[in-house]
Every structure is written in structure tokens, then in C-alpha cells.
Chain A
């Protein structure tokens, strides 16, 4: 699993790298509207790995109810940016 240190980051790039490296999703399929299950092929068993990868990459915690509400790649970008904003970490992709 990617353990990329994402400080000083581009959220979209880091998230997309996780999708490519950990879940073998083709880069060209990654866009904000892509649905994790229907478009990118992730299932419920992948969800916990995705959350762990995000938490490790962005040094944040994603609550279970929040994780369950994620449906698209754009949802991930938004959740991560929301987590980083209070810490004053700039998202270079925003």
C-alpha cells in the first residue's frame, strides 16, 4: 500500500496515486465524478483499505460514518480537503 507522505500537497494527485498503486485503477478513469463502486470497481472489502491509505497519506482520521458517505472520487477529494483545512495545510490542487 502506498505510504506517500503528502505534506505540502496536491490532494488530487495523492488520491489518484493511491487509486492507481493500491487498487490498480487506470489513470484515465480517474475523474471527480467517477463512482468508486460502479466506475472504478471498488467493493466493500476495498473500502477499509482505502480509508487506511488515505489516513496514512494525509495523516488524518476519517470517521466511519464519513467514510460510508463517500461515493465518488470527488467525495474523497472534498473530505480530505476538509480534513486538511483546519490544520492550515494548503492543497496545491485546489
Chain B
């Protein structure tokens, strides 16, 4: 079992500037959570975190989760759908966003994960993400 907090990079192919998670803070059989400190830079749009980054952060957290679950570095998967995604507000620089995913359903290589992005315990975005996972070699 990976000691936490952990560096997410071994489980992800993403690198800056698309990387939207800084550290893995939780992982178990049902899901995982990563955190990201919003900083000045390419993730900002109109001075706040871009909406796509909220989905991307959840997707990358899902990538970490699947990598840990498969014991594979990096995990190979594709975000193939987003459903019922709501953005309540976009985090500002200096805020730490927690991206948490939990398994809703898994059927073969396709999984549905419920994702919640929060700041200080308050939800800023949430929805259901669908992934197609590559089979381990």
C-alpha cells in the first residue's frame, strides 16, 4: 500500500502545464483524493481556475486511483464522458482544491466515478465521469 501523502506523477502521464494535481492525500478500494494549490499561471481564466481544470483534476485523480488499483504506473485510460457536471464556483489563486473520486459502477473496462471538487470542505464542482481503462499488458 502506498504511503500517503504521495506524489501523483508515477501514476500519470500528465505533466505541466496540464497537470492539475499536486499530491495524493487519500486512496482506498473505493476511491482516491488529490489536492492542488491554485496558482497564478496557465490554469487561470479571468483570474480564477478554469472550469476544464476542475474536470481535468478529477480525471487525473481517477487516473491515480486506477493506477493504484491496478498496481500499474502509469495507469492508461481515457476520459470518455462527463455527466451531470455542475460548477458552483471556480477556485481562486491561493485556494487548495481537493479532488475526490469514488467508484459508482464498473463494467469491464468502463467505469463510472463520482467526482467532487471542494475547497475547505465546500463543494465547488461535482459530476459523474466515465473512463475507458486500458487492460494491463
Report whether chain A binds chain B: yes
Interface residues in chain A, defined as those with a beta carbon under 8 Å from any beta carbon in chain B: 1, 44-45, 47-49, 51-52, 55, 64, 67-68
- Across the interface, A52 reaches (CB within 8 A) one of B80, B109, B112, B132, namely B112
Q: Which of B54-104 contact A (CB under 8 A)?
A: 80-81, 83-84, 104
Q: How far is the CA of A49 from the CA of B110 in the complex (A)?
A: 10
Contact of A47 (CB < 8 Å), options: B84, B104, B110: B110
**B123 close to chain A: CB less than 8 A:** no
25 contacts between A and B (CB under 8 A): A1-B83, A1-B84, A44-B108, A44-B109, A45-B80, A45-B81, A45-B110, A45-B132, A47-B107, A47-B108, A47-B110, A48-B105, A48-B107, A48-B111, A48-B130, A49-B83, A49-B130, A51-B105, A51-B107, A52-B112, A55-B105, A64-B107, A64-B108, A67-B107, A68-B108
In the bound complex, residues from chain B placing their C-beta under 8 Å from that of A49 are 83, 112, 130
Chain A residues whose C-beta falls within 8 Å of the C-beta of B130 in the assembled complex: 45, 48-49
Q: How many residues from B make CB contacts under 8 Å with A?
A: 15
Taking chain A's interface residues, is the majority helix, strand, or loop, or is none over half, making it mixed? helix
| Residues in B neighbouring A67, C-beta threshold 8 A | 107
From residue A2, how far is it (CB to closest CB) to chain B in Å? 12
**Minimum distance in angstroms from B97 CB to a CB of chain A:** 27
User: In the complex, A44 Cα to B108 Cα: how many Å?
Assistant: 9
Residues of B with C-beta under 8 A to A68: 107-108
Contacts of B105 in A (CB 8 A): 48, 51-52, 55
CA distance A47 to B132 in the complex (A): 12
Known: A64-B106, A64-B107, A67-B107. A48 touches B80 (CB 8 A): no
Contacts of A48 in B (CB 8 A): 105-107, 110-112, 130
Question: What's the least CB distance linking A60 to chain B, in Å?
Answer: 13
Q: Assuming A47-B110, A48-B105, A48-B107, what are 12 further A-B pairs, CB within 8 angstroms?
A: A1-B83, A1-B84, A44-B108, A45-B132, A48-B111, A48-B112, A48-B130, A49-B83, A49-B112, A51-B107, A52-B112, A68-B108
